[in-house]
Amino acid sequence: MAIKTKLTEMLGIEYPIVQGGMQYVGTAEMASAVSNAGALGILTALTQPTPDALRNEIRRCRTMTNKPFGVNLTFLPAITPPPYEEYTKAIIEEGIKVVETAGNNPGKYIKMFKDAGVIVLHKCTAIRHALSAQRLGVDVVSIDGFECAGHPGEDDIGGLILLAKSAKTLSIPYIASGGMGDGRGLAAALALGAEGINMGTRFMCTEEAPVHRNVKEAMVKADERSTTLVFRPFRNTSRIFKNSVAREVNVRERNPKVQFEDVRELVAGARGRQVYSTGDPEYGVWTAGQILGLIDDIPTCKDLVHKIGADAEEIITQRLAGMVQKQSKL
C-alpha cells in the first residue's frame, strides 16, 4: 500500500513528506538521503556562500540521487541582502523543478520561478500570508504552526487551528509544517486537509544529517519543553534549542529597553554553525522545534521515512477506519 496525495503526484515522490530547508544542514548529503528514501529532499540555497557554490551543490546532489529534490530560498531582512536574483537564476538554470520559498516579499522571485515552470512551495505562518501566496500563484502552501523550529511568526497560532482553517480558506493544496515527525502527525495532517507534511528538526536527527553526533544525542535526550523563543522584542521571533546561550538571550531580552546589539554576539550565526561541526550544543544558538518531545532515536532517513509512512497507513486503514460503524436498519 501507499499514501497517494496531490503532493506525491505533483512532485513525483513516494511519500508525502518534504524535508524543509535548514541553514547549514540542507546540503547534498541531507537532500539526497531524503530523496533516496522516497520523500523530497531540499538543498538550502543560502547555506552556500555564493550562487556559483549553489550550482556546484546542485550538481553534486545529482551525483548522489536520481530522485526528485528541490532547493529552499529564504528571503530575510538584512542591511546587505544576499544576491537573491542571482541565486534564483542559478536554481532555474540548473533545472531544479521544485523550490521551497519563505520569508518577506517573495513576489518578484516567485514570478521568476513560475515563468520558468518551477513548482513553488511557499512557507507561511498565518492564513493571511497563505492567501497572499495563493494570489502570487504558488502551487503549494506550507502551513507552519507555532510548534515549529525557526520563525513561527508573531501570532502564536498552533498548527491544529491553522491547518483546519486552511481547509476552509485556501483553494490550493497545502502541507503541514511544525510539530511533524511521526506517522501520527502525518495521519493527523491528512485528516486536517493537508496533502503531506514538512519536517526539519526530525530530519536533523538522522544518521545522514551533517550535524555532529553530540547534537543529535542532545536532541534525543531533550523533550517538548527544551526549546525557547528569542527575538520577540524585535518582532522576529525564533524558536531555538534551550541551552545556556538561549537562556542568557532571554534574560537580556527582559530589559524593556533591549536593543539587538545587546544580544548580537550571543546569536552570531558563526557560533551556531560551529555547534553542528564541533558538537558542543552549548556553544551558540541553534534552531529546534517542539517535535523534540517525540524524538527518541537517530535512524537513517530511509528507516524514518518508511516508518512514518507505514505508521500513518496503519492509523488510517485500521484505527480510523475501524471507528466507522454502519448503523443497522430498524
Q: What is the pLDDT of residues 164-214, one digit of tens each?
A: 999 999 999 999 999 999 999 999 999 999 999 999 999 999 999 999 999
Phi, psi of 89 (to 5 degrees): -65, -40
Residues (pLDDT < 50) of the chain are: none
Q: What is the pLDDT of residues 259-277, one digit of tens each?
A: 999 999 999 988 999 999 9
Residue 321 lies in a domain: no
Q: Residue 74: beta bridge partners? A: 102
Task: State whether 239 and 200 are in the same domain.
Answer: no
> Are residues 272 and 131 part of one domain?
no
| Together in a domain, 63 and 138 | yes
Alpha helices for 44-197 (secondary structure H) = 51-62, 84-93, 107-115, 127-136, 159-169, 183-191
3-state secondary structure of 118: coil
Q: Residue 41 pairs with which residues in a beta bridge?
A: 69
Q: What is the pLDDT of residue 1?
A: 64
115 and 249 inside one domain: no
* Whether 141 and 27 share a structural domain: yes
Residues 167 and 98 in one domain: yes
Same structural domain, 187 and 240: no
Let me know: does 19 contact 286? Beta carbons within 8 Å. no
How many domains does the chain divide into?
A: 2
In a domain, 261, yes or no: yes
Domain that holds residue 240: 227-287
> Which pLDDT score is estimated for 330?
60
Residues 6+ apart with CB under 8 A from 115: none
Find cell 492567501 and name the residue: 131
Quick one: 114 and 199 in the same domain? yes
> Is residue 17, in this structure, part of any structural domain at all?
yes
Q: Is 261 exposed, middle or buried (0-12, 13-18, 19+ CB in 10 A)?
A: exposed
At 2 the pLDDT is: 83
40 and 127 housed in the same domain:
yes
Cell of 120: 513553488
